[in-house]
Copies of this chain bind each other. A is one copy, B any other.
Amino acid sequence: MPKVSDEYKLNRRQQIIDAAYRCFVRNGFHETSMRDIYEETQLSPGAVYNYFRSKEEIIEGSFQFDYERSRELFKSARHSDDPLKALEELLNFLFTGLEDAARLQAPRINVQAWGQALINRRFQETMNQLFDVYLDDAAHIIGRAQERGEVDANLDSRAVARSILSLYFGLELQLALDPEVNVRNYMTVVKAILRGSFRQDSEKGQEA
């Protein structure tokens, strides 16, 4: 086979990642052998190794957050006039994305990736970077909401950011174990928390 277009190569690469993805969803990273992958790909072992240097590289290739898009949204939320509203819109985007991802069983991959991140240096760094960026942005947004008197100023803004992250990743975990989880209802709850309408006024009235 002669020289081949970059597109051809990217397609092949994607083909391998897709095949690996299906294997990983079925059997996990460790129960999936290279054999499984290249049989699923309908390629020869050598062909797979033309596109990836190792199994680990394939694993890394198989989970890709839409990092760019969400980072962008976080950034713009930082400068919004109404930080909580921007945060809500952002979460709306993220949770909707999760709903789609769940249909592709991405949570199954990602939950395994968390475990991998505890073992593998490169994974860990990627994961930490991701978390830190999100935490920083979210904490900043919360901080601004606190300045505006919209969020209890006594709360640690980073802790609030962590709780929001938990609401996201906790849902991802639950979706991994059960893809039928009703994401819409869950989102409604998250919004209620952000809006302060989770707890009813009745009691507050009593307290007042």
Contact = CB atoms under 8 A, between A and B. Distances in A.
A159 B188 contact: yes
Given A166-B171, A198-B151, A182 B203 contact: no
Interface of A: 27-28, 30-31, 108, 111-112, 114-119, 124, 127-128, 131, 149-156, 158-160, 162-163, 165-171, 173-174, 176-178, 181-182, 185-186, 188-190, 192-200, 202-204
B196 A204 contact: yes
Q: Ordered nearest first, which 8 A-B pairs have the shortest CB separation?
A: A166-B170, A196-B199, A159-B185, A115-B115, A28-B119, A156-B185, A170-B170, A112-B115
A174 B131 CA distance: 9
A151 B194 CA distance: 14
Given A27-B119, A173-B169, A202-B150, A128 B178 contact: yes
Contacts of A124: 177
A130 to B, nearest CB: 10
16 contacts: A28-B116, A28-B118, A28-B119, A108-B118, A111-B115, A112-B118, A127-B177, A128-B178, A154-B188, A156-B185, A159-B185, A160-B198, A166-B170, A167-B170, A169-B170, A173-B173
Contacts of A200: 149-153, 196
Contacts of A153: 200
A149 B149 CA distance: 26
A150 B188 CA distance: 17
Contacts of A163: 167, 170, 186, 189-190, 193
Given A111-B118, A193-B193, 13 more contacts: A112-B115, A149-B203, A152-B192, A154-B188, A155-B185, A155-B192, A156-B189, A159-B182, A160-B189, A163-B170, A166-B168, A166-B173, A196-B200
